[in-house]
Chain A
Amino acid sequence: MFKDITLGQFFPGDSVIHKMDPRVKLVLTVLFIIMLFMAKNIYGLLVGIAFTIISYLLSRIPFSMILKSMKPIIPIVTFTAVLNVFFIRTGDLLWSWRFIKIYNDAVNTAVFMVVRIVCLIVGTSLLTYTTSPIDLTDAIERLLSPLKRIGAPVHELAMMMTIALRFIPTLIEETDKIMNAQKARGSELDTGTFKEKVRGMVPIFIPLFVSSFRRAEELATAMECRCYHGGEGRTRMKQMSTAPRDWFACVYVAVFWAGIIVMNMFFK
């Protein structure tokens, strides 16, 4: 049952965006988020939408993947939209029925919020679609490395993230195995009532914890055997380097930034 879960959302490919330096991608994604929040009106957001669409076309990620990334946010989006529509009471009255009154400002705000959230999620998903989790943690480490000077354990944090990511599929497989073993001993994980199923979790979690600790210990030993002693003086096999395409990407984002500022100035 757990085999269906895909880890992260990395979608391998060889588009321009896939090939970009992950550090640049990460920074530009942050800039993209700021850009969306700078937009003060719907025209500014149109620029944001255009940016998202063009970027997706460049990345050649299939449309179905984008829909998949939107699925989990549908409840939140609907909730904020409904809240905005019914509770903002300024502007002209559009429609009313008993105690329900809908104003034009409310509709505007609702549309604005929905578009912004969708853009935000879909746009930032592009980063995780085109960058493998390992590259991403690597990029985070590099970007945060100045913090090492003030004593922040940046390398250690990045290493922990990498290891955690690496072991998620292993632990999923392990859980599956233990679940089957306990089912074979009659635990009611798939046949019992809800209460029985919850009680059946104990025999799963204890062996899972035990084996995680065992794995952690083994891994630590294996790392020490290979002379791992933290990040100091460590060199890398894969060096990150920026190429002209990364600078093009910066210009591309800058253009859209400018677009939004212009929109903000023209349409008050």
Chain B
Amino acid sequence: MSIIKTEDLTYVYGEKTPFRKVALDNVNIEINEGEVVGVIGHTGSGKSTLIQHFNGLLKPTSGRVLIDGEDFTGDKKKLREVRFKVGLVFQYPEYQLFEETVYKDIAYGPKNMGLSPEQRDARVLESAQLTGLDESLLQKSPFELSGGQKRRAAIAGVMAMDPKVLILDEPASGLDPQGRDRIFEMLRTYHEVKKNTMLIVSHSMEDIVKIADRILVMNEGRVFCFDRTRKVFSRAEELERIGLAVPQVTRVIHRLNAMGFDLGEDVYTVKYAEGQILSRLKAGGEG
């Protein structure tokens, strides 16, 4: 069953003002439980607007959003439940840290859920472990941590609510390459342990292909395509036309294809490319 479903979701900014802008235009998507979905798109393509609908921060101008088959618009009690069910990590989440200690900050979400101190404690320790935060850091002030640690503490704060769906907006932006890898590594372990649904917004294809099962491409408020990662990248030319950079390796392979090497359209990881090229070379050597 689909955990997130939108029906003709449309959202308009500044209705009835000269600044009226359609941010989402008839979006119909369905996300299955346990899936990892990458959301990509240009700045202003509506991806951030879209994810803010999934936990009720924005109300659709028209259309519906169903979480777990339920429409929660206009119901305050359900709205709160949805916020705990769908955890949303914003871009630069470290700017939301506010408590005296990292521990208390991570416990903020669970506390709002009304969990007992024992349950909270378990949640905090678990999410600290999942995000790779050392226990010695928990009693420190969040403002003493390094940039990467702050980022992980903030993500832990959302993970601690144990949401059925975890949505992350550009989780690795502003980090160095090593920090980026660690964040994605962390998300992969989290998914393996929890098996829950994840949505990751990013404009770095290289990062997203490593983790996503399916990719949703947004363009000018509409769904450009929503398909398995492999299939999406076989449309590299179209993606480049709407201004999205495909992974470097895909570009290289497509050029090679154009030169007459038949390496397949759906190459997007270096490893897979290596395999393809090697098998080609072998075949070539034999022939």
Check A185–B157 contact: CB distance below 8 A: yes
Q: For A190, what are the chain B residues with a Cβ–Cβ distance below 8 Å? A: 79
Identify which of A180, A188, A202 gathers the most chain B CB atoms within 10 Å of its CB. A180
Task: Answer yes or no: A211 CB below 8 A from chain B CBs.
Answer: yes
Q: Beyond A186-B161, A191-B76: 10 further Cβ-contacts under 8 Å?
A: A177-B95, A180-B52, A184-B90, A185-B83, A186-B112, A186-B113, A187-B108, A187-B112, A188-B80, A211-B95
CA distance A181 to B91 in the complex (A): 9
Given A177-B90, A191-B80, decide whether A185 and B112 contact each other with a Cβ distance below 8 A: yes
CA distance A183 to B90 in the complex (A): 11
CA distance A188 to B96 in the complex (A): 15
Q: For B96, what are the chain A residues with a Cβ–Cβ distance below 8 Å? A: 178, 181-182, 185, 203, 207
Given A183-B83, A185-B158, A191-B80, decide whether A178 and B112 contact each other with a Cβ distance below 8 A: no
Task: Answer yes or no: A7 CB below 8 A from chain B CBs.
Answer: no
User: Dominant SS at the B interface?
Assistant: helix
Task: Answer yes or no: A227 CB below 8 A from chain B CBs.
Answer: no
Q: For A182, what are the chain B residues with a Cβ–Cβ distance below 8 Å? A: 96
B151 CB to nearest A CB, Å: 13
5 tightest Cβ-Cβ pairs between the two chains A and B: A186-B112, A206-B98, A181-B96, A184-B88, A185-B109
Q: How many A-B residue pairs have CB under 8 A?
A: 62
Report the nearest A residue to B19, measured CB to CB: A3
B166 CB to nearest A CB, Å: 11
Task: Answer yes or no: B6 CB below 8 A from chain A CBs.
Answer: no
Check B143–A184 contact: CB distance below 8 A: no
24 pairs, A vs B, C-beta closer than 8 Å? A177-B90, A177-B95, A180-B52, A181-B95, A183-B57, A184-B83, A184-B88, A184-B90, A185-B83, A185-B96, A185-B108, A185-B112, A185-B158, A186-B109, A187-B108, A187-B112, A188-B112, A190-B79, A191-B79, A191-B80, A203-B96, A207-B97, A210-B98, A210-B143
